[in-house]
C-alpha cells in the first residue's frame, strides 16, 4: 500500500506558485538592493560569462575558486591509488567518516551497496550527483532507515573528475545536502576507442579481481555537429574468507584469547558460557539449561570444533568454544557486475545542444556469514520475540533423543552448523535515462532536462532458520517435517528436514526517481570586479521507495533476523534563485535561496550566502553560511518498521554484578523501531571560513575551518534511555536474585526528532610541484582534523571525537580525530610513479569522551585504545607507445596488519576503516590500448 498522498487542487497549486514566486522575488530584491549600493547599474551591455560551472553553483564562472570549499579530484589522483571503483576511492577521502557504507559490510541491512558519509553525518546526509543531477537511491536503506546513493553503479572509466563540495548546499540542490555534495562528472564527449583490462590478486593469492572496460565514441560536436560514445565496464571479484587469513593474527580468527581477552569478551568466538553458566553456550554441540538455570553441554565437542583442547569436560566447564567466523564467514564478498554509460549530443543553432544519457548497472553480491542459532531475541511489527526463555523458548522436547535431561522440555542453545552458513545474495539492477537541451536565447543561457532513474533489487537468503519449524522439529516428536537431530547426531538428518527448517527466503526493494528541471542564467551588468551573474530555476521530482519484508519476518518467524519494510512516495516542487556579484576586483559576494514544497504539506526555504576577498593576487579569504534540510524518507515516516541489532551496555546488570567487567561491556541487543508519520525535516546550519594561498604557479594551500549544526535529527530513540526506562525485553537469568536484571534481548524505540549534532573541524589541502632535472615531482596532502562531534539527546550532550562512538551508526567505526592522505607523483618522459600514504589516528575505546570503556581484557583492565593505522600504496605507469600503456599498483605495500578492534560489529576484530590492513598486500596489473 502506497504512502497516502494528497493531490493538490487548483487553489493549492496557485498558493504554491504564489509562495515560491514571493520567496524568490523577495530574495532577488534583497540581494539586488545590496549590490546596487556598491555599484551603479551599468548602461552598456553586460560582459558574457565564461562557461565554467563549479559544483555548488548554477552560475558559470571565470575561475574555479568559489566562496565555498570544493575539492576537485582529478582522474590522475584516482588512478594513482590503484582503486578500481568509485566507491573504493571516495571512502579514502579524509572528509569521509562514520556512517560510510563499505561493500565489505555484507551482513548489514544495505549489504551489497556502497555509500559515502561526509563529516560522519551519515550517507543519507551526503547528496551524490552524477553530472550535476540526482540518481535513484539504493533499494536497501542503511540500518533499515537511511536511504542513500549506491556508488558502485558508476563506471570508473567514464569518470572525468569528481568535485566534493564540503559545506551545505540545500539552497542549490534541495534535500539531503546537509553534509555536502559529491558530484561525479563523466566524460561529456569522446572520439576514438580505449580498451582497458586489469587483474588483481592479494599477497595471499586470493581475492582475484578481473576487470575489462571498453570506451568508444565517434563524431565531433564542433565539426560534425554531433558526438556519441559509450563505456562498458565488466568485472568479477572473488570472495575472501576469514579462514584465508587464519595466520594473519586476529584478522583470521574470532578467538582472541591469546591477546589477553576472556572468551566471553570475544564477540566472534562462539560457545562460551557467560554469567557463571547462566547464558551463552551457543556452540556446535548444543547445550541445555538444567532445573537450576545452568547450562549442561551435549556431547561431541571435540569432533565439532577446530579449536585445540576442546573436549566434553571442558565443554561442561566453560562451554564448547569454537570459531564460526573462521569456518563460515567471508572477509569480502563475491561480486560480479556490469556497468554501462552512454551519451549522445547534437548541436543546433548558435551554441545549442540536445543531449541524452543512458546508464545501466547490474551487480550481484554474495556474502557468507556464520550459522544461525536456534534461540535469541528479535522483533517484528507485533513486538519482540523471546526464543530464549518463557513460553516462546526453543526447547528440546522431553522425548527428543538428544535431550540429556529426559522428561524435561529443556531450553536449548545451539549453533546450526549442520544447516550451513547464512548466505545473502543481492542482485541489483540500476537504470538511468536523461534527455535535455541547453543553449542560448538572447542574453540568457538555459539548460533543461527530464530524468528517470530506478533500482530493482532482489535479496535472497539461505541458511536462516524458521522459528515455528525449528520449535516443531526439536520439540514435537510427531512434527510433520521430522525430528531434527543436533550436534554429534546431525548426520542422521535428511535434506527434506533441512528444507523444512531452513527455507529460502527473499525480499524485493525498488526505488525510482523522476525529475524535470529548468535553469536559466545570464550576466545582468558589469560591476567593478566583473559581471553580475544571475541564475533562476525550477524543479519537480517524484521519488518512491519500497521494500517488502523478508519472507516470514513480518510475523517474527525467522530466528535472529531483523525486520525491515517501508513504502512511500514523495512529490517535491522547488524554485530557486542565485546571484554572484564581484562588486570589486577584490571582493565577490554570492547568495542563493531555494524553496522546496512537499505534496504532503511540508515546505522549506533554505538560503546560502558567501563572500570571497582577494586582497592580493595570491591570497584569498572566503566564508560561507548555509542552511540545509533532509526530509523524512519512507523508511522513517512511511509504512513499515525496523528490527535491527546493535551493541549496548546494560547498567542494571553491571550494577547487580558489582561492576564485574564481564557484565559491564557492550553486548549485542535487538533494537525494534517504529516509523513515525509525524516526523519533521532535519534542519542544519553550516559555516565555513578559509584562506586560499597560491604564492607561485606551482604552490597552493587552502585551510578551511567549518562547522555544521544539525537539529531535529531523525534517529532511533536513545537505546540507553530506553534501557534506563525499562523499555526492554529481558531473559530470565537475573543476577544475584535482583529482579529485571536478565540479559537484554530487545529494546523498543521509535524514530524521533529528538537529537541534534554539532560537528566542527579544519580541512587543509597543500599542493606543490617541482621541476627536478628531466622530470617533475608533484606533492599533495589532505588533512581533516575534527575538533568536535557532539550529539545531544534530551538534556545530555556527548562528544565522540577520538572515540569509538557513535555505535548507533553503521559499523561502529568510531570518530578518528585525524585523517591524512599524502601523495607524491614523479613524472619523467613515458614514466610516472606515484605513492600515497593514508593515516587514521587512534581511538579511545570508549562510547564517548569521558564515557565507558567498550571492552575489557581477561584480567579486568579495560581496552583503552585502538591504535592508529598507516598504509602506503604504490603505483606506476609506462607508456610503451603512444597507444599502449602498462600500469601496476601495490596497495598496502608494507603489509601492515589492521589493529585489533574488539568493539566494532562491522568486521571480525578489525575496524572497517582499516580494511586494507585486513586484506594485506594487494597487487594489480593492467594495460590500456588506445585505438586511433
How far apart CA 411 and CA 403 sit, in angstroms, is: 10
Angle at 922 between CA 921 and CA 926, to 5 degrees: 150
CB 107 within 8 A of CB 461: no
Of residues 641, 625, 632, the one with CA closest to residue 712: 632
Residue 18 is predicted with a pLDDT of 39
Is the pLDDT at 836 greater than 50? The verdict is yes
E-only strand ranges, 587-638: 587-598, 603-616, 619-630
Instruction: Give the lowest-confidence range in 442-456, 622-636, 692-706, 916-930.
Output: 622-636
Is the pLDDT at 561 greater than 60? The verdict is yes
Place of cell 538511468: 432
Residue 39 is predicted with a pLDDT of 36
Residue 646 is predicted with a pLDDT of 67
Q: Which residue has the higher pLDDT, 672 or 365?
A: 365
CB 708 within 8 A of CB 178: yes
Residues 6+ apart with CB under 8 A from 905: 267, 645, 646, 647, 668, 807, 811, 812
Highest mean pLDDT among 163-177, 265-279, 404-418: 404-418
CB 161 within 8 A of CB 72: yes
How far apart CA 59 and CA 578 sit, in angstroms, is: 8
Residue-wise DSSP of 140-159: SPBTTTB----GGGS-GGGE
Of residues 405, 450, 202, 392, the one with CA closest to residue 289: 405
Q: Please, which pLDDT band fits residue 474 given cuts at 50, 70 and 90?
A: very high
Q: Please, which pLDDT band fits residue 156 given cuts at 50, 70 and 90?
A: confident
Instruction: Give the lowest-confidence range in 178-192, 403-417, 528-542, 741-755.
Output: 741-755
Mean pLDDT of the chain, nearest integer: 86
Instruction: Give the lowest-confidence range in 417-426, 572-581, 624-633.
Output: 624-633
Is the pLDDT at 877 greater than 90? The verdict is yes
Beta bridge partners of 413: 287
Residue 181 is predicted with a pLDDT of 92
Residue 713 is predicted with a pLDDT of 83
CA atoms within 13 A on the CB side of 431: 9
CB 764 within 8 A of CB 781: yes
Section 785-810 average pLDDT: 87
Cell numbers describing residue 123: 550517507
**390-446 pLDDT per residue, tens:** 889 999 999 999 999 989 999 999 999 999 999 999 999 999 999 999 999 989 999
Q: Please, which pLDDT band fits residue 484 given cuts at 50, 70 and 90?
A: very high
Is the pLDDT at 35 greater than 60? The verdict is no
Section 470-498 average pLDDT: 95
Residues 6+ apart with CB under 8 A from 810: 98, 99, 100, 101, 105, 108, 110, 123, 142, 143, 906
Residue 236 is predicted with a pLDDT of 95
Question: Strand 410-413's sheet: what is its strand order?
Answer: 295-297, 287-289, 410-413, 395-396
CB 775 within 8 A of CB 826: yes
Beta bridge partners of 542: 514, 571
Q: Please, which pLDDT band fits residue 463 given cuts at 50, 70 and 90?
A: very high
Residue 16 is predicted with a pLDDT of 33
Residue 12 is predicted with a pLDDT of 32
For the question of whether the overall pTM of this predicted structure is more than 0.95, the answer is no
Residue 50 is predicted with a pLDDT of 44
CA atoms within 13 A on the CB side of 590: 28
Is the pLDDT at 29 greater than 80? The verdict is no
Of residues 618, 615, 621, the one with CA closest to residue 585: 615
The fraction of the chain above a pLDDT of 70, given in percent, is 91
Cell numbers describing residue 326: 573462521
What is the Cα 49 distance to its own chain's centre? Answer: 38
Q: Which residue has the higher pLDDT, 162 or 379?
A: 162
Is the pLDDT at 58 greater than 60? The verdict is yes
Is the pLDDT at 336 greater than 90? The verdict is yes
Residue 144 is predicted with a pLDDT of 66
Residue 889 is predicted with a pLDDT of 95
Cell numbers describing residue 234: 565488466
Secondary structure tally for the chain: helices H, strands E: 14, 42
**720-760 pLDDT per residue, tens:** 777 887 777 787 778 888 887 888 777 777 778 878 899 99
Q: Please, which pLDDT band fits residue 46 given cuts at 50, 70 and 90?
A: very low
Section 682-692 average pLDDT: 93
Residues 6+ apart with CB under 8 A from 100: 91, 115, 116, 117, 123, 810, 811, 813
Residue 149 is predicted with a pLDDT of 86
Of residues 735, 376, 421, the one with CA closest to residue 559: 376
Angle at 510 between CA 509 and CA 514, to 5 degrees: 165
Is the pLDDT at 23 greater than 70? The verdict is no
Q: Cα dist. 661→34, 261, 653, 666, 859 in Å?
A: 64, 12, 11, 10, 9
Angle at 155 between CA 226 and CA 150, to 5 degrees: 125
CB 810 within 8 A of CB 143: yes
Q: Please, which pLDDT band fits residue 590 given cuts at 50, 70 and 90?
A: very high
Cα-Cα-Cα-Cα dihedral sign, residues 313, 316, 321, 322: positive
How far apart CA 589 and CA 821 sit, in angstroms, is: 32
Cα-Cα-Cα-Cα dihedral sign, residues 552, 557, 558, 562: positive
Q: Which residue has the higher pLDDT, 641 or 231?
A: 231
Instruction: Give the lowest-confidence range in 35-39, 74-78, 158-162, 295-299.
Output: 35-39
How far apart CA 95 and CA 759 sit, in angstroms, is: 12
DSSP structure class, residue 293:
S
How far apart CA 465 and CA 386 sit, in angstroms, is: 15
Q: Please state the φ and ψ torsions of residue 499, each to the nearest 5 degrees.
A: -65, -30
Is the pLDDT at 776 greater than 90? The verdict is yes
Residue 106 is predicted with a pLDDT of 59
The fraction of the chain above a pLDDT of 90, given in percent, is 58
Is the pLDDT at 259 greater than 90? The verdict is yes
Is the pLDDT at 143 greater than 70? The verdict is no
Residue 47 is predicted with a pLDDT of 39
Amino acid at each position: 500500500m502506497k504512502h497516502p498522498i494528497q493531490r493538490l487542487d487548483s487553489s493549492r497549486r496557485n498558493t504554491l506558485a504564489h509562495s515560491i514566486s514571493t520567496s524568490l522575488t523577495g530574495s532577488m530584491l534583497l540581494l539586488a538592493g545590496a549590490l546596487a549600493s556598491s555599484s551603479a547599474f551599468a548602461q552598456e551591455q553586460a560582459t558574457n560569462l565564461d562557461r565554467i560551472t563549479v559544483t555548488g553553483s548554477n552560475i558559470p564562472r571565470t575561475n574555479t575558486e568559489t566562496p565555498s570549499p570544493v575539492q576537485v579530484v582529478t582522474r590522475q589522483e584516482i588512478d594513482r591509488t590503484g582503486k578500481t571503483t568509485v566507491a573504493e576511492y571516495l571512502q579514502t577521502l579524509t572528509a569521509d567518516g562514520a556512517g560510510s557504507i563499505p561493500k565489505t559490510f555484507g551482513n548489514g541491512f544495505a549489504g551489497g551497496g556502497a555509500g559515502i558519509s561526509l563529516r560522519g553525518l551519515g550517507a543519507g546526509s551526503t547528496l551524490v550527483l552524477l553530472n550535476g543531477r540526482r540518481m535513484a537511491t539504493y533499494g536497501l536503506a542503511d540500518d533499515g532507515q537511511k536511504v542513500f546513493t549506491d556508488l558502485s553503479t558508476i563506471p570508473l572509466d567514464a569518470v572525468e573528475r569528481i568535485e566534493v563540495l564540503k559545506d551545505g548546499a540545500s539552497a542549490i540542490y534541495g534535500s539531503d545536502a546537509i553534509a555536502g555534495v559529491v558530484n561525479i562528472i563523466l566524460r561529456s564527449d569522446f572520439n576514438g576507442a580505449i580498451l582497458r583490462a586489469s587483474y588483481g590478486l592479494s599477497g595471499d593469492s586470493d581475492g582475484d579481481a578481473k576487470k575489462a572496460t571498453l570506451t568508444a565514441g565517434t563524431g565531433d560536436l564542433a565539426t560534425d555537429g554531433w558526438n556519441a560514445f559509450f563505456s562498458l565496464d565488466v568485472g568479477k571479484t572473488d570472495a575472501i574468507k576469514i579462514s584465508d587469513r587464519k595466520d594473519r593474527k586476529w584478522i583470521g580468527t574470532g578467538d582472541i584469547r591469546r591477546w589477553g581477552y576472556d572468551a566471553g569478551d570475544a564477540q566472534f568466538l562462539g560457545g562460551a558460557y557467560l554469567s557463571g553458566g547462566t547464558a551463552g553456550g551457543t556452540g556446535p554441540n548444543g547445550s541445555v539449561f538444567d532445573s537450576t538455570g545452568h547450562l549442561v553441554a551435549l556431547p561431541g565437542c571435540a569432533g565439532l570444533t577446530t579449536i585445540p583442547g576442546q573436549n566434553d569436560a571442558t565443554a561442561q566447564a566453560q562451554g564448547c568454544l569454537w570459531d564460526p567466523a573462521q569456518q563460515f564467514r567471508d572477509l569480502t564478498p563475491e561480486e560480479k557486475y556490469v556497468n554501462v554509460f552512454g551519451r549522445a549530443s547534437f548541436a543546433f543553432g548558435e551554441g545549442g545542444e540536445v543531449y541524452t544519457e543512458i546508464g545501466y548497472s547490474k551487480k550481484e553480491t554474495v556474502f557468507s556469514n556464520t550459522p544461525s542459532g536456534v534461540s535469541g531475541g528479535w522483533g517484528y511489527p507485533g513486538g519482540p520475540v523471546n526464543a530464549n526463555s518463557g513460553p516462546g523458548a526453543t526447547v528440546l522436547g522431553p522425548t527428543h533423543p538428544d535431550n540429556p535431561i529426559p522428561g524435561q522440555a529443556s531450553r536449548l542453545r545451539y549453533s546450526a552448523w549442520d544447516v550451513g552458513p547464512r548466505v545473502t545474495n543481492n542482485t541489483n539492477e540500476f537504470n538511468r535515462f536523461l534527455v535535455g537541451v541547453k543553449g542560448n536565447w538572447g542574453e540568457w543561457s538555459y539548460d533543461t532536462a527530464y530524468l528517470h532513474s530506478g533500482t530493482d533489487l532482489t535479496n535472497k537468503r539461505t541458511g536462516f532458520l524458521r522459528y515455528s519449524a525449528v520449535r516443531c522439529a526439536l520439540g514435537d516428536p510427531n512434527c510433520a517435517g521430522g525430528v531434527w537431530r543436533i550436534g554429534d547426531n546431525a548426520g542422521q538428518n535428511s535434506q527434506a528436514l533441512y528444507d523444512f527448517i531452513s527455507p529460502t527466503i527473499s525480499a524485493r526493494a525498488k526505488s525510482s526517481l523522476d525529475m524535470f528541471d529548468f535553469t536559466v542564467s545570464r550576466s545582468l551588468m558589469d560591476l567593478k570586479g566583473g559581471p553580475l551573474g544571475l541564475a533562476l530555476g525550477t524543479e519537480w521530482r517524484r521519488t518512491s521507495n519500497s521494500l517488502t519484508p523478508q519472507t516470514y519476518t513480518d510475523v517474527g518467524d525467522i530466528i535472529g533476523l531483523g525486520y525491515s519494510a517501508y513504502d512511500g512516495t514523495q512529490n517535491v516542487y522547488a524554485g530557486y534563485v542565485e546571484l554572484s556579484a564581484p562588486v570589486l576586483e577584490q571582493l565577490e559576494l554570492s547568495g542563493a535561496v531555494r524553496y522546496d514544497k512537499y505534496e504532503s504539506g511540508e515546505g522549506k526555504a533554505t538560503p546560502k550566502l558567501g563572500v570571497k576577498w582577494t586582497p592580493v593576487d595570491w591570497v584569498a579569504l572566503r566564508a560561507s553560511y548555509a542552511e540545509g534540510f533532509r526530509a523524512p524518507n519512507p523508511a522513517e515516516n512511511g509504512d513499515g518498521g525496523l528490527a535491527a541489532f546493535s551493541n549496548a551496555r546494560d547498567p542494571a546488570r553491571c550494577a547487580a554484578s558489582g561492576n564485574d567487567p564481564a557484565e559491564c561491556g557492550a553486548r549485542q541487543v535487538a533494537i525494534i523501531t517504529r516509523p513515525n508519520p509525524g516526523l519533521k525535516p532535519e534542519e542544519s546550519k553550516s559555516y565555513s571560513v578559509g584562506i586560499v594561498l597560491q604564492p607561485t604557479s606551482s604552490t597552493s594551500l587552502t585551510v578551511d575551518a567549518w562547522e555544521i549544526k544539525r537539529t531535529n535529527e531523525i534517529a532511533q530513540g536513545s537505546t540507553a534511555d530506553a534501557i534506563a526506562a525499562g523499555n526492554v525485553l529481558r531473559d530470565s537469568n537475573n543476577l544475584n536474585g535482583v529482579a529485571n536484571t536478565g540479559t537484554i534481548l530487545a529494546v523498543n524505540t521509535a524514530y524521533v526528532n529528538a537529537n541534534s549534532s554539532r560537528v566542527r573541524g579544519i580541512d587543509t589541502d597543500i599542493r606543490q610541484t617541482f621541476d627536478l632535472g628531466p622530470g617533475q615531482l608533484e606533492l599533495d596532502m589532505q588533512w581533516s582534523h575534527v575538533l568536535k562531534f557532539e550529539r545531544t539527546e534530551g538534556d545530555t550532550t556527548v562528544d565522540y571525537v577520538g572515540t569509538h562512538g557513535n555505535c548507533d551508526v553503521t559499523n561502529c567505526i568510531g570518530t578518528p580525530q585525524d585523517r591524512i592522505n599524502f601523495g607524491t607523483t614523479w613524472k619523467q618522459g613515458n614514466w610516472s610513479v606515484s605513492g600515497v600514504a593514508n593515516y587514521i589516528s587512534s581511538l579511545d575505546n570508549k562510547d564517548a569522551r569521558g564515557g565507558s570503556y567498550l571492552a575489557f581484557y581477561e584480567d579486568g583492565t579495560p581496552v583503552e585504545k585502538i591504535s592508529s593505522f598507516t598504509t602506503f600504496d604504490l603505483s606506476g605507469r609506462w607508456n610503451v607507445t603512444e597507444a599502449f600503456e602498462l600500469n601496476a599498483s601495490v596497495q598496502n605495500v608494507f603489509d601492515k596488519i589492521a589493529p585489533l578492534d574488539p568493539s566494532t560489529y562491522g568486521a571480525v576484530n578489525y575496524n572497517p576503516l582499516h580494511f586494507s590492513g585486513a586484506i594485506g598486500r594487494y597487487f594489480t596489473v593492467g594495460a590500456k590500448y588506445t585505438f586511433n
